[in-house]
Structure formats: C-alpha cells, structure tokens
Amino acid sequence: MHVLVTGASGNVGTAVVRALSADPHVERVVGVARRRPRPGRGLDGPGAPQWIEADVGEDDLRPHLAGIDTLVHLAWLFQPSHRPEVTWRANAVGSARVFDAAQDVGLAAVVYASSVGAYSPAPGEFVTESWPTHSLSHAAYGREKAYVERALDAFESRNPETRVVRLRPGFIFQRASATEQRRLFAGPFLPARLVERGRLPVLPLPPGLRFQAVHADDVAEAYHLAVVSDARGAFNIAAEPVIDGRVLAETLGTRAIEVPRPLVRTALAAAWRAHLSPTDPALLDLVLELPLLDTTRARAELGWVPRRSGVEALREVVAGMASGAGGDTPPLEADSLGGRLDEVAGGVGERP
C-alpha cells in the first residue's frame, strides 16, 4: 500500500506519518509539506517517509499521486485570521483542488481530516456522525470545515467506487505541538512561564466551556486504521473525560472564575483587533457552541480505543508550553525563525 499525506509536517501529520511508517503493510509513505524537514531531524533516513514540497492551494498534486493508493488530506491553515481570504484559498479551495486531483488520478481511497468544528451547534450535547455539519457561518474555521464537507460529499457522489473516510476529532494535543499551538492561538505575547502550574492566580472563563481532547498519537492511530481497513463514512474521535473549567483550573494549578461571555468576547475582540492575539473572537463563539462527540462508531467499526485520556493530552501540551517544547518540523519548531515565519504565513497543521 502506498499512502500520500498532505499537511505531513504539522501536529497531526507528523503523528500520522509515524504511525503509517511503522506498519509493514504500508510500503511507501509520501509526506507533502510546504517546507520539508531539514536533514538530521529524525524524519529522514531508512524507513522515513519520502518528502515533497508543495502547497495544496497552489501546486498540482497529480504528478505526486501517481502510484498512490490512498490519500490522507490533513493540510490546513489556521492563520492569518485577519486575512480570511488566505485561509479560504488554502483550506476550502485547496481541499477542492486536492479532491479534483484524487478524482483525476482515480485513487482507491481518500481519508479527510474534518473536525468537531464542522458540526452545527449543540452545546453540551453528545452527537453521532449523523448530526448536521453546517457549523457557524461567521466563524472562518467552522465555515471552511463545513464547506469542505460539502465538497467531499460531491466528490463521493461522483466517485462511488472510491472509499471515502472523514474523521471528526476534538482538540488534538501533544508535547511536540506545544509551541506551535501557543503561537497559533495565543500569540507571541503569552509568556511561557504563565502556563506553569501554580503561576496563574485565577483563570477567568466564560460559563459553559466544555470540550473534548485527544492525543495526537491516538488520532494518528485512528487515521492508520482508516487507511488499512475497509471503513467508509464519518467517525468521531475523542477521549474521555469531557474537559471543563474545573479540569482546566486543576491542570494549571489555579482557581477558575466565571466571567460573562460578552465580557470575555469583548476583551478577546479588542486584543485581536490590536494584533495582540491571533485568535478571532468568532472562534470563541464556535468553541462555546460545539457539541460533544459520541465515539461509539469509531470504537465499534474501526476498533479504535485511545491509549491516553483527554486530561493526559491536555497536561502534556500545557507542560510543553511551559517548557517551550517543540517538534522536528518547521511548523512545530520551538521559538525560532522557522516557527515565526510559519505563524506569519499561517502554519499548516490540524486541530479542532
């Protein structure tokens, strides 16, 4: 089996490449990234994937799909949130271009990285894969994820012989992604020491904040199972327990206090407009409207069981942020020129 992975240098991509490369039944893994890992970083040599530099929003993947059986499409831009036309071109248009290439080449299978963020609002409710995927129209991340779901629907309708799988995970964490996720969602002005356990006197949070997390290695195993099995359709991917303000406060060694949602949103909007934070306030709206994921189908049909709890994944990334941990690819690097350039360009990776 020959597999090509887009977004292979990001948070989920690196974990997926590791999982696929470790399977002797997968003969070849091709990783596509805007910037390939530098030699000597543990991602080259015998058994490592073949790396190709390409931008799914600009470059033609057809030549690289020759001889490929399965495409795993993970590539996604989270930033720059101040320029939604950039993320739309990369994510919505880029994904449509990837599916067109897959159709022209006639791939046997396409596995796509959807997200809990694609689901229509259902705060606090557990939903199965049949729940609508219309997201929130004013939140760029959700709007783009919902659009790509529709593009994949059209691809699936045109290509019934192609096996199509879409995974919809919750928040994805690992230690190696700590610096990348701090850059992408908190920005450069959050001191690493501030997230050390016991540093924050209080943690102000809007009421009703609840989400699910999962470790990147566990998500990667779900992708691995989707690639090597005959599975079709959508699968929710998340670990227990549900994370709320109490769990967040315990993780940071502080006390959570509820702050009215309008005040939190106003403060976030002001920081975003001043370019002090990269997080669009619409992303807060999306997070507070997210449903919770019923993972029964993934466990029953894929045989997927997470090895780490959501709390363990959360603790790992928070500890990584406090210590300035990073990974071995340009998007995941600890604070460096490569990492900062990736933030400005809109780092490729995957998270909800």
**What pLDDT digit, counting tens, does each position of 14-70 carry?**
999 999 999 999 999 999 999 888 765 556 555 678 999 999 999 999 999 999 999
Helix locations, the chain, DSSP H: 11-21, 62-65, 84-87, 94-105, 140-158, 178-185, 216-228, 245-252, 261-273, 281-289, 296-297, 310-323, 337-345
Query: Is the pLDDT score of 190 beyond 90?
Result: no
- What's the pLDDT at 244? 96
Flag whether 74 is in a domain.
yes
Domain count, the chain: 1
CA angle 348, 349, 350 (to 5 degrees): 145
Flag whether 254 is in a domain.
no
92: CATH? 3.40.50.720
**E strands, 175-220, where?**
202-205, 210-211, 213-215
- Tell me how far apart the alpha carbons of residues 35 and 330 are, in angstroms, rounded to a whole number: 7
- What's the pLDDT at 39? 63
The whole domain housing 46 covers: 2-174+213-240+292-307+329-345
- What's the pLDDT at 189? 64
Flag whether 198 is in a domain.
no
- What's the pLDDT at 42? 53
Using an 8 Å Cβ cutoff, are 286 and 135 in contact? yes
Flag whether 180 is in a domain.
no
- What's the pLDDT at 352? 38
- Of 139, 140, 151, 141, the closest CA to residue 95 belongs to 151
CA distances in angstroms from 256 to 13, 198, 206, 265, 286, listed in the order given: 33, 12, 10, 17, 21
Both tokens of 221, joined, read 């195993």
Flag whether 189 is in a domain.
no
Query: Is the pLDDT score of 336 beyond 70?
Result: no
The residue-averaged pLDDT of 182-203 equals 81
The residue-averaged pLDDT of 121-139 equals 97
CA distances in angstroms from 46 to 32, 255, 297, listed in the order given: 18, 49, 36
Give the sign of the dihedral formed by CA 19, CA 22, CA 23, CA 28: positive
Flag whether 75 is in a domain.
yes
Number of other CB atoms surrounding residue 191 within 10 Å: 10
Residues comprising the chain, all counted: 352
- What's the pLDDT at 45? 52
Flag whether 191 is in a domain.
no
pTM over 0.85: yes
- Tell me how far apart the alpha carbons of residues 182 and 109 are, in angstroms, rounded to a whole number: 34
- Tell me how far apart the alpha carbons of residues 71 and 116 are, in angstroms, rounded to a whole number: 21
Flag whether 322 is in a domain.
no
Query: Is the pLDDT score of 117 beyond 50?
Result: yes
Query: Is the pLDDT score of 292 beyond 50?
Result: yes
